């Protein structure tokens, strides 16, 4: 038998296991033309990556930090990646011939990666923005692809096996066109990511300490790297021999990033609501004298060092600055000031923004730039806090005559 009869990159059938080979030939419907399935190291690594992606997807649904909406979108992205990894392994190892009805089921999912990365980044940067019906338009390419492939999905197993055998010998033109569309759509979403407010660094804002903004940039960067790798493979070595390289890179980058994010995020826990303060702090060691000293230090810290301008300021980090426990700081805010941590910090941020919005020296800055310099990490969060504390929007405040602003204070 000549080597011309074998698929590209395939090894000859094993002569040491004729019974096994016969069972394989019987199952795939042809004798001797396609090498027997075989798992290699790269294939196994892709399987491991798919398993990790599914585990991380489940873990993300139990993470509170960063917003449940952003985590749900990221979990969906990980499921899509896991399905694609498994499918590519099945094709590369030729096990797909055993289950031909799985052929091309992953194709519409390829068109969801860009939209899911973009939606996740937007959810991180605009945490108060709700999901809108028009966001479903991002799924239109995937739905259109599904409709286009429906006639293929309805074919019988023998027809799909013939199709796959031809694909193993050389990718068809249809696959090249499809991959080009996926890469072009990915480029569109790279541009869309760059246009998201707050994603790109800005000189006039203090955004480097914002963890959500950092992670939005991580996903955008990883997506760009994977897109470049996919385009490189498309032009240099587009075939079954290299079809596990980009998925392996995708798995490594995404799983590493998710692992690091999960390490920094606390698991969600149910917290009793509206506990009476006396009962809530009945075991506290915070005495009245210590509370008074802590309160003085807190006011000095907020008014002189203006630590509220740090975008990722948290209860724990503020407590560290005061050299007290987070529990005591929470008790201090609730009992002595009557505010939650967020309301307390936002009150200072709103006051800072109110001053700068009407300061002639800051008239060249946009409302968003002033909001970010005051410590807010999204325009929607700033608008909500500003209206809660002042009863009007930032734009309305900026347009008020000076005399009316004095009365509003």
- The residue-averaged pLDDT of 390-405 equals 77
What radius of gyration do the chain's Cα atoms show? Answer: 28
* Model pLDDT, residue 116: 92
| CATH architecture entry for 37-263 | Up-down Bundle (1.20)
Confidence of residue 264 (pLDDT cuts 50, 70, 90): low
Which tens digit of pLDDT belongs to each residue from 126-174? 765 677 888 899 999 999 999 999 999 999 999 998 888 888 788 888 8
Confidence of residue 249 (pLDDT cuts 50, 70, 90): confident
Q: Are 65 and 264 in contact (CB under 8 A)?
A: yes
Other C-beta atoms lying within 10 Å of the C-beta of residue 385: 23
Domain with CATH 1.10.10.60 in the chain: 277-408
- What does pTM read for this prediction? 0.57
* Model pLDDT, residue 272: 43
Other C-beta atoms lying within 10 Å of the C-beta of residue 136: 11
CATH of domain 277-408: 1.10.10.60
Domain with CATH 1.20.1070 in the chain: 37-263
* Model pLDDT, residue 3: 35
Looking up tokens 């199952």 gives: 27
* Model confidence at 94: pLDDT above 80: yes
Average pLDDT of the residues of the chain: 77
Q: Are 57 and 63 in contact (CB under 8 A)?
A: no
Which tens digit of pLDDT belongs to each residue from 270-299? 334 444 555 566 567 777 778 888 888 888
* Model pLDDT, residue 14: 43
| 84-93, 116-125, 175-184, 255-264: least confidently modelled range | 255-264
Between the CA of residue 15 and those of 2, 34, 50, 138, what are the distances in Å? Answer: 15, 14, 33, 51
- 3-class SS string, 296-312: HHHHHHHHHHCHHHCCC
């Amino acid at each position: 038998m000549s080597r011309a009869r074998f698929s590209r990159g395939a090894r000859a059938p094993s002569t040491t296991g004729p019974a096994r080979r016969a069972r394989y030939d019987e199952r795939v419907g042809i004798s001797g033309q396609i090498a027997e399935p075989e798992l290699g190291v790269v294939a196994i690594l892709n399987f491991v990556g798919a398993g990790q992606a599914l585990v991380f997807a489940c873990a993300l649904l139990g993470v509170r930090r960063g917003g449940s909406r952003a985590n749900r979108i990221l979990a969906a992205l990980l499921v899509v990646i896991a399905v694609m990894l498994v499918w590519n392994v099945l094709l590369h190892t030729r096990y797909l011939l055993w289950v031909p009805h799985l052929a091309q089921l992953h194709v519409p999912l390829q068109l969801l990666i860009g939209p899911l990365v973009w939606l996740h980044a937007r959810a991180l940067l605009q945490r108060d923005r709700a999901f809108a019906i028009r966001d479903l338009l991002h799924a239109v390419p995937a739905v259109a692809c599904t409709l286009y492939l429906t006639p293929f999905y309805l074919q019988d197993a023998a027809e799909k096996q013939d199709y796959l055998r031809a694909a193993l010998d050389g990718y068809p033109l249809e696959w090249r066109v499809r991959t080009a569309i996926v890469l072009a759509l990915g480029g569109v979403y790279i541009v869309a990511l760059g246009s998201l407010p707050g994603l790109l660094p800005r000189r006039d804002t203090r955004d480097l300490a914002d963890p959500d903004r950092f992670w939005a940039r991580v996903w955008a960067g990883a997506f760009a790297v994977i897109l470049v790798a996919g385009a490189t493979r498309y032009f240099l070595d587009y075939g079954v021999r290299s079809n596990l390289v980009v998925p392996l890179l995708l798995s490594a980058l995404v799983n590493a990033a998710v692992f690091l994010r999960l390490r920094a995020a606390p698991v969600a826990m149910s917290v009793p609501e509206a506990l009476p303060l006396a009962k809530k702090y009945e075991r506290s060691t915070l005495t009245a004298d210590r509370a008074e000293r802590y309160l003085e230090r807190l006011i000095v810290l907020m008014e002189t060092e203006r630590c509220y301008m740090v975008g990722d300021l948290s209860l724990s980090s503020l407590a560290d600055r005061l050299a007290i426990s987070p529990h005591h700081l929470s008790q201090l805010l609730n009992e002595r000031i009557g505010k939650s941590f967020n309301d307390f910090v936002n009150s200072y941020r709103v006051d800072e923004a109110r001053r700068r919005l009407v300061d002639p020296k800051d008239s060249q800055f946009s409302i968003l730039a002033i909001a970010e310099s005051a410590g807010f990490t999204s325009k929607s969060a700033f608008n909500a806090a500003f209206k809660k504390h002042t009863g009007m929007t930032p734009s309305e405040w900026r347009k008020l005559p000076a005399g009316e602003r004095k009365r509003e204070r």
